[in-house]
């Protein structure tokens, strides 16, 4: 098992990629703090882990709020131990509007969750990880942090910010044996993507076409979880400060 005796804190783990990461990390031996703004969804993921024989706790937290971010780290330390792995994954798509039509409130909320939330997750975990002697932080960015997407002003800015935060954290904390990387997914078949495309059944062609994936399909959340597992584990012992693109080729065109 790649994560035996490790403690992992994963945000946004009630759904989509965070949930898939939580299940895979637990299967690989980690004790997992499953964090989500939707406490019931977090509890459901934690139940699935325990049913499969793993160890998990469920925590409700809004990662954009400093008290919640501090409390999720404190509860993890108290109940499972200092996290070796912090996977700041929670995020929202926000409203789709061209730049001039986007409201200030909508802009602020996306930045608060997708950028400030990632910073807060690192801010409150890092001192514990430094004391413990190291660890791995994984942040969820997006290819939206690398290329422009119409109607996604705040989302693209926040995700580019996550790539920058990741680099700074890697630079500052490498000396403490803490690696910090981010994942830049393309189109992944999660509830978020289905909300964006309004798809109940099959994802529409515009979510799968050559501009979205040269493989002609969206990925399953588990395909991102495998990259997160690589970054969390010692297999990625020399990887830090980098954006790991897993986009089915979106950014080659």
Which residues between 127 and 156 bind ligand NAP (CB under 6 A)? 140, 142
Nearest CB to ligand NAP, comparing residues 1 and 210:
210
Residue 155 designated active-site? yes
Question: Given 87, 155, 173, 176, which residue is catalytic?
Answer: 155
Residue 138 parent element (H or E):
strand 135-140
CA distances from 108 to 115, 118, 120, 146, 234 (A): 10, 15, 16, 20, 37
- Position 15 contacts ligand NAP (CB under 6 A): yes
- Position 191 contacts ligand NAP (CB under 6 A): yes
Beta carbon of residue 132, minimum distance to ligand NAP (angstroms, whole number): 24
By three-state DSSP, how is residue 243 classified? strand
Beta carbon of residue 204, minimum distance to ligand NAP (angstroms, whole number): 14
- Position 43 contacts ligand NAP (CB under 6 A): no
Query: CA 148, CA 136: separation in Å to the nearest integer?
Result: 29
Q: Residue 72: which of 49, 42, 96, 101 has the closest Cα? A: 42
- Position 71 contacts ligand NAP (CB under 6 A): no
For residue 170, the cross-strand partners are none
Binds ligand NAP (CB under 6 A): choice among 59, 92, 212, 242: 92
- Position 37 contacts ligand NAP (CB under 6 A): yes
**Cα dihedral: 143, 148, 153, 156 (round 10):** 20
Residues binding ligand NAP: number (CB under 6 A): 30
Query: CA 26, CA 87: separation in Å to the nearest integer?
Result: 13
The values of phi and psi at residue 28, to 5°, are: -90, 10
Query: CA 132, CA 236: separation in Å to the nearest integer?
Result: 19
- Position 120 contacts ligand NAP (CB under 6 A): no
For ligand NAP, the binding residues (CB under 6 A) are: 11-12, 14-18, 36-38, 41, 61-64, 89-92, 113, 117, 140, 142, 185, 187-188, 190-193
Active site residues: 155
């Amino acid at each position: 098992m790649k994560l035996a005796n490790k403690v992992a804190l994963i945000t946004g783990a009630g759904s989509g990629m965070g949930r898939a990461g939580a299940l895979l990390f637990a299967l690989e031996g980690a004790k997992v703090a499953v964090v989500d703004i939707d406490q019931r969804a977090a509890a459901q993921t934690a139940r699935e882990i325990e049913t499969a024989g793993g160890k998990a706790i469920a925590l409700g937290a809004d990662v954009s709020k400093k008290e919640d971010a501090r409390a999720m780290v404190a509860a993890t330390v108290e109940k499972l131990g200092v996290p070796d792995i912090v996977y700041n994954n929670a995020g929202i798509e926000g409203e789709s509007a061209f730049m001039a039509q986007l409201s200030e409130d909508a802009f602020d909320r996306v930045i608060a969750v997708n950028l400030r939330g990632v910073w807060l997750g690192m801010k409150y975990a890092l001192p514990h990880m430094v004391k413990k002697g190291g660890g791995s932080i994984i942040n969820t960015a997006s290819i939206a942090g690398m290329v422009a997407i119409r109607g996604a002003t705040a989302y693209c800015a926040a995700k580019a910010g996550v790539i920058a935060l990741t680099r700074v954290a890697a630079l500052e904390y490498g000396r403490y044996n803490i690696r910090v990387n981010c994942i830049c997914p393309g189109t992944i078949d999660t509830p978020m993507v289905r909300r964006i495309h309004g798809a109940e059944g099959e994802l529409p062609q515009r979510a799968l076409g050559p501009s979205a994936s040269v493989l002609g399909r969206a990925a399953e959340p588990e395909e991102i979880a495998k990259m997160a597992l690589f970054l969390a584990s010692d297999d990625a012992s020399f990887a830090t400060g980098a954006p790991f693109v897993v986009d089915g080729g979106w950014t080659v065109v």
